[in-house]
Chain A
Amino acid sequence: MTQDEVFEKVKTILTESLGADDDAVTPQARLVGDLNAESIDFLDIMFRLEREFGLPKIDRNELFPESIFQGDPKFVQNGLVTADGLAELRTKMPYADIEGFAKNPQFDKIGDLFTVDLITRFVHSKLKK
């Protein structure tokens, strides 16, 4: 399955799960910022990805790591993600656009890393394995 084909299927999953308009689900769309996803939606999306693509069980922290920065001042200082934090992100979220985020690494914008493209690339890599 090509990445474009994966994207089309991901798009259908997100329109059904989030009730989002077809046009709004672009590769750059942010799940929370643009498509109004809430925390429970992330679980719903994971379940649907497994069912629709026939993937083996996805670990919640593999796709949506929640606790990378909890309570660790090494990774966040003065509201900004540090170089160590960015390195951690590159390791834990290899499908995210970390370089784009690194230009202005505000901690409160970290949710913007969860885009439609991230999900597409994650699924595509899983299917190739």
Chain B
Amino acid sequence: MRWIWIDRFTAFEPGRSATATKCLSHAEDHFAEHFPGFPVMPACLIIEGLAQTGGILVGEANQFREKVVLAKIPAAKFHREVPAGETLTYTATVVDLRDEGAVVRGTATCGGNPVCEVDIFFAHLDRNRAQQTFGDHNFVFTGEMQHLLGMARLAAAKTTPQLPPAPPADQT
């Protein structure tokens, strides 16, 4: 199952902040249920998107050696609902970064209007215990997350993904 709730990084300052966007398509399954006739982005998925933005920011700070897991949301405030068809902008800023984990301040906006503010507490899974359970493989930053990481690096380098060149026109 896909569990990626951001579409693209637009800015990335290693160890400090990251900004990502999420386009809300009516075609996403959850809008059928949340809510019938009134499709708005579930608050928990906004937090997940912010946590993914912040989690990659925290993971990158240690070159993805740590298994970064969402441990706690000490506080979250929501200002408005966001309907399908809009685009959310997620910004994560590092408040504290240590060996044991990190604290990130996340804000979501839509069209410049505040949507959500949240404090996110990440823990680095204890290296000894995590290795006994999961081995050396870093199960957090894998698969589709790797693709997002590539986009984060592009954003950090302030370059934008380029489309491949157009094929030559038919010579008929």
Contact = CB atoms under 8 A, between A and B. Distances in A.
Given A40-B121, A40-B123, A47 B96 contact: yes
B163 interface: no
A12 to B, nearest CB: 13
Nearest to B124: A43
A88 interface: no
Identify whether the interface residues of A are mostly helix, strand, loop, or mixed: helix
Interface string A39-69: 0110110010011000001001000000000
Interface residues of A, number: 12
Contact of B74 (A17, A51, A57): A17
Identify whether the interface residues of B are mostly helix, strand, loop, or mixed: strand
Nearest to A17: B74
Contacts of A40: 71-72, 121, 123
A16 interface: yes
Listed residue (A19, A41, A47, A60) with the most chain B CB atoms within 10 angstroms of its CB? A47
A63 to B, nearest CB: 12
B44 interface: no
B129 interface: no
A57 to B, nearest CB: 7
Interface string B93-132: 0011010110100000000000000000101000000000
Interface of A: 16-17, 19, 40-41, 43-44, 47, 50-51, 57, 60
